[in-house]
Amino acid sequence: MMKISIDYDLKFLLDKVLDPLFKKYGLEYEFHSLAEIGIKGSPSPQVMNDLQEDLSALGITIINDHKHGLVQKIKKAITTYLVDGEAVKDVKLSTYLADTCNYSYAHLSSTFSEVTYSSIENFVILKKIEVAKKYLNTGNYTLTEIAHKLGYSSVAHLSNQFKNTTGLSPTLYREIIRQKKESDQLRKREYTQIDNEN
């Protein structure tokens, strides 16, 4: 299997997908963000229902509930905060979320808990561990670098949260991934050798 790296403009891709659908129903629209679109006028319930069916076929869901929509916006903002390196800048998460979502952090926190029955803080921990796993999988970063990227005060802090969440230390997790990759490569070489012999 050949692997290629790609770079893409998500807004451009969405526009290409959505534009024909909105034109189909005679709707004018504009992006407010990648997760929020403004539709001009007041489309009928039937039009919105038909549009939702067409969008569902593309794996796109219209979120009608404001609170659920806000929670999705919070989750995306947290992911951006962690993955794009905002966590290591002089910007507190609470400030970043308030600025990004245009609500006070208290309102965001309350809405998040009401909808998910969990807290923003718990979601942040789970997301940090998810991102840490990706960094560990690549093998390109030391634990010190990963801790810094995710805004941990120390490697010990990262290690404790990682173990509490996964049951494994980051070092053991990385070793398991390394062994699995070696095993997969060995198996692939054996299959290639068998194919060549046949």
Asked if residue 1 is part of any domain, the answer here is no
**In this model, does residue 144 exceed pLDDT 90?**
yes
Structure-token pair, residue 6: 């790609």
The residue from 22, 43, 61 where one domain ends is 61
pLDDT per residue over 146-161, tens digit each? 998 888 989 999 999 9
Q: What is the rounded distance in angstroms from the CA atom of residue 30 to the CA atom of residue 150?
A: 34
Asked if residue 3 is part of any domain, the answer here is no
According to the model, what pLDDT value does residue 119 have? 93
Same domain assignment for residues 126 and 109: no
Same domain assignment for residues 88 and 76: yes
Tokens 């929020």 correspond to 36
* Mean pLDDT confidence for 128-132: 93
- Burial class (CB within 10 angstroms; exposed 0-12, middle 13-18, buried 19+) of 140: exposed
According to the model, what pLDDT value does residue 67 have? 84
- Cα-based torsion angle of the residue sequence 64, 65, 69, 75 in order, rounded to the nearest 10 degrees: -130
Neighbours of 62 (CB within 10 A): 12
Asked if residue 156 is part of any domain, the answer here is yes
Same domain assignment for residues 47 and 75: no
Asked if residue 153 is part of any domain, the answer here is yes
- Burial class (CB within 10 angstroms; exposed 0-12, middle 13-18, buried 19+) of 89: exposed
The residue from 86, 118, 150 where one domain ends is 118
Q: C-alpha angle with apex 70: 106 to 72, nearest 5 degrees?
A: 120
Asked if residue 2 is part of any domain, the answer here is no
Same domain assignment for residues 89 and 124: no
pLDDT per residue over 112-126, tens digit each? 998 889 999 999 999
pLDDT per residue over 7-42, tens digit each? 767 777 777 888 888 888 888 888 776 667 878 877
Tokens 């060549």 correspond to 196
Quote the domain boundaries for residue 99. Answer: 63-118
Q: What is the rounded distance in angstroms from the CA atom of residue 192 to the CA atom of residue 184?
A: 12
According to the model, what pLDDT value does residue 129 have? 94
**How many domains does one find in the chain?**
3
pTM: 0.63
The residue from 118, 142, 157 where one domain ends is 118
The partner residues of 31 in beta bridges, in order of sequence, read: 37
Asked if residue 35 is part of any domain, the answer here is yes
Same domain assignment for residues 104 and 167: no
pLDDT per residue over 56-98, tens digit each? 888 877 766 778 888 989 999 999 898 887 656 778 899 999 9
